[in-house]
Amino acid sequence: ALLKLTSGTTAAPRAVRFRSEQLLADCNQICETMGISDVDLNFGVIPISHSYGFSNLLTPLIARGVPMVLSRERMPRAVLMDLARTNTTVFPGMPVFYQAFSEMENIPALPKLRLCISAGAPLALAVGRQFQDKFNRPIHSFYGASECGGICYDRNAFPAVPGLVGQPMRGVDLEIIDPMASASQIRVRSAVVGDGYFPESDKEKLSGGFFVPDDLLTKTENGLRIVGRISDVINVAGKKVNPMEVEAHLLRFRGVRQAAVFGRASALRNEEVVACVVASPAVDEAGLLDFCRRGLSGWQVPKRVFIVDAIPANERGKISRRELARRFAAS
């Protein structure tokens, strides 16, 4: 048996109980859905101690003999050179690496690389397009959770819909909890779903072979699309603001490279919308606020937009909106 810890990005980490047959099912599900076999060479730069690295790198090595090369590098240029030097065929990466690769000059050839996977955080459309233009390879988005392994995989690497995660993984059954809503949570059933949280259970969220993630999804003709999380919704005087919608709008502004939107306490409106962006020197707050006023509903427009050198993220590339709200609470 194994206890996996959740990431703790949006709440305190929780331990999840797994048996060996569930871990094996996770490995089989990933390899069969993504077409990974023992003739491939996996490249390991994502942490094996996290669910993504454990399931995509370690268990395929142990259970299916999929070889793996581990990189000690963390700087994107060095990682890219290792990818070329080792003749890697499969790269399970994160958006932060793909963005850095796309911005590099004098890139090495990657003749053996055939499969690029992105998970851990949303992949921006612009990054997917830039990477494909530069390396002539698509990036396949992979959506999963510590509690249940893989959920969806974008087999066709469709680069035109933000937040698209594709169709359910092989052997995964998904139920839309509120089919009448514009966006809904889902109920995931598969042979991989953990037995429950430990030591305190949460039977409405994880039990009896099902798991309910906090993510909000919508159906499209190309598969499921993540549009936000229950815990991220900002309550502005009773109006609900999905931060991912505001981020998508900000990223349309020329010169904006990254955007993170979050709520902070407001005496008048319960919460107010605030944004941080990484942008070129020509971009200023006044221009961004005017752009938002012209393209968003009034309650979606940020009260402030902070232009920063970098948006802090964990080692998986995930941004903590709670941490940003604490940091900019009094700004």
Does residue 160 surpass a pLDDT of 80? no
The pLDDT of residue 153 is above 70: yes
Say what the pLDDT of residue 141 is: 96
Question: Domains of the chain, with CATH numbers?
Answer: 2-229 (3.40.50.12780), 233-327 (3.30.300.30)
- Token pair, residue 139, equals 């990036």
Taking residues 150-166, report their average pLDDT. 89
Please report the pLDDT score of residue 220 as a whole number: 92
The predicted structure's pLDDT at residue 92? 97
**pLDDT single digits (tens) 293-310:** 999 999 999 999 999 998
DSSP state for residue 235 in the 8-state scheme:
E
Q: Average pLDDT for residues 48-60, to the nearest whole number?
A: 94
Q: What is the pLDDT of residue 121?
A: 83
Backbone angles phi, psi at 194, to 5 degrees: -65, 165
The pLDDT of 314-326, averaged and rounded, is 76
Task: Please provide the DSSP assignment of 206-218 as one string.
Answer: EETTEE--SEEEE
Model confidence at 13: pLDDT above 90: no
pLDDT tier for residue 231 given thresholds of 50, 70 and 90: confident
Question: pLDDT confidence of 315, banded at 50, 70, 90?
Answer: low
**Comparing 150 with 8, which gets the higher pLDDT?**
150
Nearest Cα residue to 210 out of 163, 147, 256, 271: 147
Residues with Cβ < 8 Å from 311, sequence gap 6 or more? 258, 260, 276, 278, 319, 324
Of the pLDDT bands very low, low, confident and very high (cuts 50, 70, 90), residue 181 is: confident
Q: Which one-letter amino acid corresponds to residue 35?
A: G
Report the pLDDT value the prediction gives residue 9, as an integer from 0 to 100: 58
Reduce the DSSP state of residue 149 to 3 states and report it.
strand
pLDDT of 228 > 90? The answer is no
pLDDT at 317 over 70: no
- pLDDT over 90, % of the chain: 73
Residue 10 has pLDDT above 70, yes or no: no
The overall average pLDDT reported for the chain is 92
Pick the more confident residue, 314 or 71.
71
pLDDT band at 291 (very low <50, low <70, confident <90, very high): very high
pLDDT, one tens digit per residue, over 102-113 is: 999 999 999 999
Is-contact 131 117, C-beta < 8 A? Answer: no
pLDDT at 96: 87
Confidence of residue 331 (pLDDT cuts 50, 70, 90): low
d(CA 152, CA 238): 32
Rounded Cα distance, 33 and 12, in Å: 31
Beta bridge partners of 43: 69
pLDDT tens, position by position, 32-47: 999 999 999 999 999 9
CA dist 122 → 143, 202, 208 (Å): 9, 27, 29
- CB 323: neighbour CB atoms within 10 A? 14
Residue 255 has pLDDT above 80, yes or no: yes
pTM over cut 0.75: yes
**Whole-angstrom Cα distance, residue 166 to residue 156?**
8
